[in-house]
Amino acid sequence: MKKYLSDCASKIEVEITDYQLEQFELFYQLLMEKNKVMNLTAITEMEQVVKKHFIDSIAVLKYLRLDGKSVIDVGTGAGFPGIPLAIMCPETTFLLLDSLHKRIKFIEEVVSSCHLSNVSLIHSRAEDGGRERTLRENYDICVSRAVANMSVLLEYCSPFVKPGGQFISYKSGDILEEVDLSKRAQTELSCNLNQIIRFDLLEDMNRSFVIFDKVKCLSKKYPRQPGKVKKDPL
């Protein structure tokens, strides 16, 4: 796996050290073992895990530097993109948030086994976490690969971002209409579209990073109550 991962990373112009390759291999082994008893990912073939989880998670490093930043990964699931980014950026602090306690327990095992001293975890719904004093508007960058439309993601994620910080949404396919439909959410949530970075991931996957700038503090009415955000998007 290590050689394949290293070759794939080279193609996206991201360099991985030998120690980081060891960490990724251990993460892969833990993921596959736990996936036998818990539904963490439908992708299990090694090359697909490398491309669709590992490389997809770290491709943003070709375009943006995270060194010295505080980053929160909202809806991290099995640890994507947070764990791969934490492996690649040991000087960056990460908080991984997820609403399912079993997933957080799995990621705890990964963090311990891979010796990731730069990672913290929290079990919480995004709507609840966004109202916590210690979390609200406390992060330079929020990342998310969670599956939801842009308006919903903006309300989930923008509460964690400091004014002057950024929210980076990982998306696939044609997302221009989705971004256009989120204009009301952008206005309400004090986020301006910075740029959309579109690229082919290893030539067979269309991906985009949609980057928003948080321009000022958020109104206290956001995020709304759990369930309301998804049921009635802005």
- 30-56 per-position pLDDT tens digit: 999 999 999 999 989 999 999 999 999
| Average pLDDT rounded to a whole number, residues 159-180 | 93
Q: How many CB atoms lie within 10 A of CB 91?
A: 9
Domain harbouring 190, CATH code? 3.40.50.150
Q: In percent, how much of the chain has pLDDT > 90?
A: 85
- The reported pLDDT for the residue numbered 202 is 66
**Which pLDDT value is given to residue 20?**
97
Q: Residues 36, 41, 44, 47: is their CA dihedral positive or negative?
A: negative
Question: Is the pLDDT reported for residue 140 higher than 70?
Answer: yes
Q: Give the number of domains in the chain.
A: 1
Kindly give the pairing relationship between strand 70-74 and strand 139-144: parallel
What's the chain's Rg over C-alpha atoms?
17
119 has a pLDDT exceeding 80: yes
Q: In percent, how much of the chain has pLDDT > 70?
A: 99
Quick one: pLDDT at residue 222? 95
**Which pLDDT does position 173 carry in this prediction?**
79
Q: What is the reported pLDDT for 78?
A: 95
Q: Which region among 29-38, 86-95, 148-157, 197-206 has the lowest average model confidence (pLDDT)?
A: 197-206
* Mean pLDDT along residues 171-187: 91
- Answer whether 152's CB lies under 8 Å from 233's CB: yes
pLDDT at 205: 72
Q: Which of 37, 114, 36 has the alpha carbon at shortest distance from 79?
A: 114
pLDDT interval class at 227 (50, 70, 90): confident
pLDDT of the residue at 86: 98
- Residue 169 vs residue 65, higher pLDDT: 169
Question: What confidence score (pLDDT) does residue 128 get?
Answer: 95
For 184-221, the pLDDT digits (tens) are: 999 999 999 999 998 887 666 788 999 999 999 999 99
Alpha carbons 62 and 59: distance in angstroms, whole number: 6
Domain of residue 199: give its range. Answer: 2-231
Q: What is the mean pLDDT of residues 217-229?
A: 92
